[in-house]
Structure 1
Amino acid sequence: MLELNDIDLNLLVVFNELLIERRVARVADKLGLTQPSVSNALSRLRKLLQDELFIRTSKGMEPTLYASQLAEPISVALTTIRSSLNQQPVFSPATSTRRFTIGMADVGEIYFLPKLMDRLARVAPHVSVSTLRNSAVNLRDAMEVGQVDLAMGFLPQLKAGFLQRSLFQQAYVCMFRQGHPLQGKRISLKQFTEADHVVVVSPGTGHAKADEMIERKGIHRNIRLTVPHFIAVGHILSNTDMIATVPERYAMECLAPFKLAYVKHPVEMPTIGINIFWHAKVHKEPGNQWLRNLIADTFSDAGKARARTTDRLPP
Structure 2
Amino acid sequence: MDLNLIRVFVAVYESRSLTTAARRLYVTQPAVSQALGRLRRELDDALFRRAGRTMEPTPFADAVYPGFREAIAGIDRTLDAVHRFDPADSRRLFRIALSELGEIGWFPSILTTVRAEAPDVRLEVVTLDPASLPDWLARGTVDLAITTATMPAAFDRVLVKSQPYAAVMSTRNPLAGGTLDLDTYAQAAHVTVASDSGRPMLEAAQRRAGVVIQPQVAVSHFATLPPVLAADPGLVATLPDMIAAGWAQTWPISLTPLPFDMPPVELYLYRRATSQQTGALDWLFSTVARAVRGSTGQFFVIHGDSGATPR
**TM > 0.5:** yes
Q: CA deviation at 1:213?
A: 3.6
Residue 313 of structure 1: aligned partner = none
Q: Which runs of 5 or more structure 2 residues have no equivalent in the other structure?
A: 297-311
Residue 236 of structure 1: aligned partner = 228
Residue 281 of structure 2: aligned partner = 288
1:179-227 per-residue CA deviation (whole Å, 9 max, x = no partner) reads 3222111211112112111212248x45433224424654122401223
Counterpart of 1:277 (choices 270, 274, 287) is: 270
For the 8 Å contact 1:102–1:149, the answer to whether it is kept is yes
Counterpart of 1:96 (choices 87, 90, 99) is: 90
Q: How does 1:54-73 map to 2 (within 5 A)?
A: none
1:211 aligns with 2:195: no
TM-score normalised per structure 1: 0.68
Counterpart of 2:181 (choices 178, 188, 194) is: 188
Whole-Å separation in 1 of the counterparts to 2:255 and 2:151: 30
Q: How does 1:9-88 map to 2 (within 5 A)?
A: 12=9, 16=13, 20=16, 32=29
Q: CA deviation at 1:32?
A: 4.3
Q: Which runs of 5 or more structure 1 residues have no equivalent in the other structure?
A: 305-315
Residue 101 of structure 2: aligned partner = 107
For the 8 Å contact 2:10–2:65, the answer to whether it is kept is no
Aligned CA distance change for structure 1 residues 127 and 180 (closer, same or farther; 3 Å): farther
1:52-89 per-residue CA deviation (whole Å, 9 max, x = no partner) reads x76969x9888888877777777777888899999993
Q: CA deviation at 1:103?
A: 1.6
Residue 220 of structure 1: aligned partner = 212
**Which one-letter code corresponds to 1:16 in the other structure?**
Y
Whole-Å separation in 2 of the counterparts to 1:282 and 1:56: 24
Whole-Å separation in 2 of the counterparts to 1:96 and 1:29: 19
Q: How does 1:259-274 map to 2 (within 5 A)?
A: 259-274=252-267
Residue 306 of structure 2: aligned partner = none
**Which one-letter code corresponds to 1:271 in the other structure?**
P
Whole-Å separation in 2 of the counterparts to 1:225 and 1:76: 51
1:17-65 per-residue CA deviation (whole Å, 9 max, x = no partner) reads 7x746xx9x88998746xxx89x97xx79x95599x76969x9888888
Whole-Å separation in 2 of the counterparts to 1:258 and 1:183: 14
SS class of match (1:244):
strand
Q: CA deviation at 1:173?
A: 1.2
1:178 aligns with 2:171: yes
1:116 aligns with 2:110: yes
Q: Name which structure has the greater RCO, CA cutoff 8 Å, separation 6+.
A: 2
Aligned CA distance change for structure 1 residues 256 and 147 (closer, same or farther; 3 Å): same
Whole-Å separation in 2 of the counterparts to 1:65 and 1:214: 47
For the 8 Å contact 1:169–1:271, the answer to whether it is kept is yes
1:159 aligns with 2:153: yes
Q: CA deviation at 1:246?
A: 1.0
Residue 312 of structure 1: aligned partner = none
Whole-Å separation in 2 of the counterparts to 1:60 and 1:283: 20
Whole-Å separation in 2 of the counterparts to 1:276 and 1:133: 15
Alignment coverage as a number of residue pairs: 290
SS class of match (1:219):
coil
Whole-Å separation in 2 of the counterparts to 1:66 and 1:83: 26
For the 8 Å contact 1:75–1:144, the answer to whether it is kept is no
TM-score normalised per structure 2: 0.69
1:148 aligns with 2:145: no
